[in-house]
Chains A and B, each alone.
Chain A
Amino acid sequence: RKEVEQDPGPFNVPEGATVAFNCTYSNSASQSFFWYRQDCRKEPKLLMSVYSSGNEDGRFTAQLNRASQYISLLIRDSKLSDSATYLCAVLAGTALIFGKGTTLSVSS
């Protein structure tokens, strides 16, 4: 079942670029949404939760569109250190369902 779908990328951008990722989910009853960052061979780390009103944390902005069932992540002024895989996750019942992740590569 593909409950959460993401464009796998890779997204290759220069430093300073703005990049956006989208993620769609199939369960309209889902209530909680998250973006995680995963570095190679590491566990995922919570980047930010996604709220209906949208939320911003520094260079990162997350948006939720319930009507269209997608969430987005915007990264402004990309840094080399932003290179990673970004996973969206949806809380389905008691468990998190992850997308496959979108790979971002920021180059100088």
Chain B
Amino acid sequence: GAVVSQHPSWVICKSGTSVKIECRSLDFQATTMFWYRQFPKQSLMLMATSNEGSKATYEQGVEKDKFLINHASLTLSTLTVTSAHPEDSSFYICSAREASDYNEQFFGPGTRLTVL
């Protein structure tokens, strides 16, 4: 099946710093990528949808100036958490979808962010 990678797999940073997470589709072209966040014992919450070459669409309640998303190519999307705070500590997961299959999404392994 299609493979999606994320980097880094975990990161610890100080409050106030910015953290960039990369999501790559390794063997297919991802026209659409999704970013989710999951707090302990909670569901995956969709943060934003990004289409290659256009601005991301953010879900209600997600600050677009805090969570910067760039989807500059068909194989790479990045999420930057700017001025991270302890409450941003979470499990961030991306998924990617090919243009040819509207239904199936392939998930990355996730990035665990801890903000001190």
Binding site for A on B (CB under 8 A): 32, 34, 36, 41-46, 49, 91, 93, 95, 102-105, 107-110, 112
Q: Which 3 A-B pairs have the closest CB atoms?
A: A100-B43, A43-B107, A98-B44
Chain A's closest residue to B59 (CB) is A95
Count of chain A residues with a beta carbon within 8 Å of a chain B beta carbon: 20
B12 to chain A, nearest CB (A): 15
A-B contact pairs, 29 of them (CB 8 A): A32-B103, A41-B91, A41-B110, A41-B112, A42-B109, A43-B93, A43-B108, A43-B109, A43-B110, A44-B44, A44-B93, A45-B107, A87-B43, A87-B44, A91-B103, A94-B32, A94-B102, A95-B34, A95-B46, A96-B46, A96-B105, A97-B46, A98-B43, A98-B44, A98-B45, A99-B43, A100-B41, A100-B43, A101-B43
Q: Which residues of B contact A44 (CB under 8 A)?
A: 44, 93, 107
